[in-house]
């Protein structure tokens, strides 16, 4: 009896502690960003100026860069990851299933600076010499592919992010698909459905919310990723429709400028960006959790 009470009390304490920590982080970010909010008001998230010398700050280029690079990453990563997941859970022969799943998950454990280095020394030259000249030549009439081929820029950042989130999305999707009860598949097959029809109608439809949750978790990682993006995005606070142009993200600007930021407004503006990023990732992740929970079963508890 007594042991139970201690056990319950201590676990409750840890659970509450976690909530308190999240609360403390948001409180601190809010408090520290107050001077910037007071000075710039509602203009702060929408202003494109970032001038530390004149102490005039706006977060828009960073919000834009974060969202665009992450969405770009999703556009590339989602079809690929779903393909991997469907192959592994529906089609792959058992001897292939375990090693491929293992290697995909291993990719998630590679530190982001390694991705950054690989991006800088392999991806960027390839983009600059082959991909971007091709895009400019044949699709240059579109606003997305204008400007000189630096190699470094939004496209490079989006691509490296997509590689980084593929393991997360594919491994969670695989678990979601595996959680689909077998009688779903059997019922579809019994009705004469082909393999593809079974997957599309019985499996994917059943796992819909869980798959969406996997996408959101990938998005959460992409939004907050710092190191690899900083190395590849060009760190230029500018809003440009072109994917070839350099950009900047919220996480990058904090990592870049926090150590040497002097002056209350400068620091406070960086905190304001931190608060925005925190709120955004929190919203995305809670959305994801909610969706994954709704599926329940094995995948829900991951």
Partner 1 sequence: MKNGMKKSLAGLSAALCLIAGASAAKADVNLNGAGATFPYPIYSKWFAEYNKMHPEIRINYQSIGSGGGVKQFTEKTVDFGASDAPLSDYELGLVKDPSTHIPTVLGAVVLSYNLPEAGSDLKLTGPVIADIFLGNVTKWNDPKIAAVNPGKTLPDTAIVVAHRSDGSGTTYVFTDYLSKVSHTWKGKVGTGKSVSWPAGLGGKGNEGVTGLIKQTPGSIGYIELGYALQNKLPYASVQNKAGAFVMPSIESVSAAAAGVKMPEDYRVSITDPDGKDAYPISAFTYLLVYKKQADGAKGKALVDFLKWAINDGEKLASALYYSPLPDSVAAKVNQTISQISVAP
From 20, 49, 75, 241, residue interacting with partner 1 (rule: CB under 8 A): 49
Q: Is 137 a residue that touches partner 1 (CB under 8 A)?
A: no
Residue 57 bridge partners (DSSP): 50
Question: CB of 265 within 8 A of CB of 50?
Answer: no
Number of residues that bind partner 1 (CB under 8 A): 31
From 60, 261, 289, 297, residue interacting with partner 1 (rule: CB under 8 A): 261
Q: Is 124 a residue that touches partner 1 (CB under 8 A)?
A: yes
Phi, psi of 191 (to 5 degrees): -80, 0
Q: Is 47 a residue that touches partner 1 (CB under 8 A)?
A: no
Q: Which stretch binds partner 1 (CB under 8 A): 19-27, 93-101, 145-153, 169-177?
A: 145-153
Phi, psi of 50 (to 5 degrees): -140, 90
**Whole-angstrom Cα distance, residue 172 to residue 81?**
10
How many C-beta atoms lie closer than 10 Å to residue 81's C-beta?
A: 27
* Smallest separation (angstroms) from partner 1 to the CB of 33: 18
Q: Is 125 a residue that touches partner 1 (CB under 8 A)?
A: yes
Judged on CB neighbours under 10 Å (0-12, 13-18, 19+), 138 is exposed
From 6, 17, 19, 54, residue interacting with partner 1 (rule: CB under 8 A): 54
* Smallest separation (angstroms) from partner 1 to the CB of 224: 17
Between 125 and 143, name the residue whose CB sits nearer to partner 1. Answer: 125
* Smallest separation (angstroms) from partner 1 to the CB of 47: 12
Between 152 and 292, name the residue whose CB sits nearer to partner 1. Answer: 152
Q: Is 155 a residue that touches partner 1 (CB under 8 A)?
A: no
Q: What is the C-alpha R_g of the chain? A: 22
| Count of residues in the chain | 302
Q: Is 48 a residue that touches partner 1 (CB under 8 A)?
A: no
Question: Smallest Cα–Cα separation from 169: which of 220, 123, 118, 203?
Answer: 220
Q: Is 65 a residue that touches partner 1 (CB under 8 A)?
A: no
Between 89 and 242, name the residue whose CB sits nearer to partner 1. Answer: 242
**Whole-angstrom Cα distance, residue 290 to residue 149?**
41
**Whole-angstrom Cα distance, residue 196 to residue 199?**
5
Question: Smallest Cα–Cα separation from 163: which of 214, 124, 243, 218?
Answer: 218
* Smallest separation (angstroms) from partner 1 to the CB of 282: 26
Question: Smallest Cα–Cα separation from 249: which of 268, 259, 235?
Answer: 235
Q: Which residues bind partner 1 (CB under 8 A)?
A: 49-54, 120-121, 124-125, 128, 148, 150-152, 230-231, 234-237, 246, 248, 252, 255-257, 259-262
């Amino acid at each position: 009896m007594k042991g139970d009470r201690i056990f319950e009390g201590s676990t409750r304490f840890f659970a509450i502690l976690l909530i308190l920590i999240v609360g403390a982080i948001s409180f601190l970010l809010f408090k520290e960003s107050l001077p910037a909010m007071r000075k710039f008001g509602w203009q702060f998230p929408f202003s494109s100026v970032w001038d530390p010398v004149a102490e005039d700050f706006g977060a828009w280029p960073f919000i834009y860069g974060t969202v665009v690079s992450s969405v770009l990453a999703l556009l590339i990563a989602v079809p690929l990851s779903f393909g991997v997941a469907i192959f592994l859970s529906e089609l792959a022969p058992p001897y292939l299933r375990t090693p491929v799943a293992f290697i995909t998950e291993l990719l998630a454990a590679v530190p982001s600076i390694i991705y950054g280095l690989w991006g800088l020394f392999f991806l960027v030259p390839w983009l600059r010499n082959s991909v971007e000249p091709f895009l400019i030549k044949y699709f240059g009439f579109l606003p997305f592919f204008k400007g000189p081929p630096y190699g470094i820029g939004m496209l490079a950042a989006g691509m490296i992010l997509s590689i980084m989130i593929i393991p997360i999305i594919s491994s969670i999707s695989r678990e979601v698909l595996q959680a689909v009860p077998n009688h779903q598949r059997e019922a579809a097959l019994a009705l004469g459905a082909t393999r593809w029809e079974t997957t599309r109608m019985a499996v994917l439809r059943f796992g819909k919310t869980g798959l969406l949750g996997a996408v959101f978790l990938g998005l959460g990682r992409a939004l907050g990723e710092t190191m690899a993006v900083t190395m590849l995005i060009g760190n230029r606070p500018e809003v440009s429709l072109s994917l070839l142009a350099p950009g900047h993200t919220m996480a990058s600007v904090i990592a870049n400028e926090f150590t040497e930021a002097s002056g209350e407004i400068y620091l406070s503006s960086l905190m304001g960006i931190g608060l925005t990023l925190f709120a955004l990732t929190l919203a995305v992740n809670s959305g994801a959790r909610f969706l994954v929970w709704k599926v329940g079963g094995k995948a829900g508890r991951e």
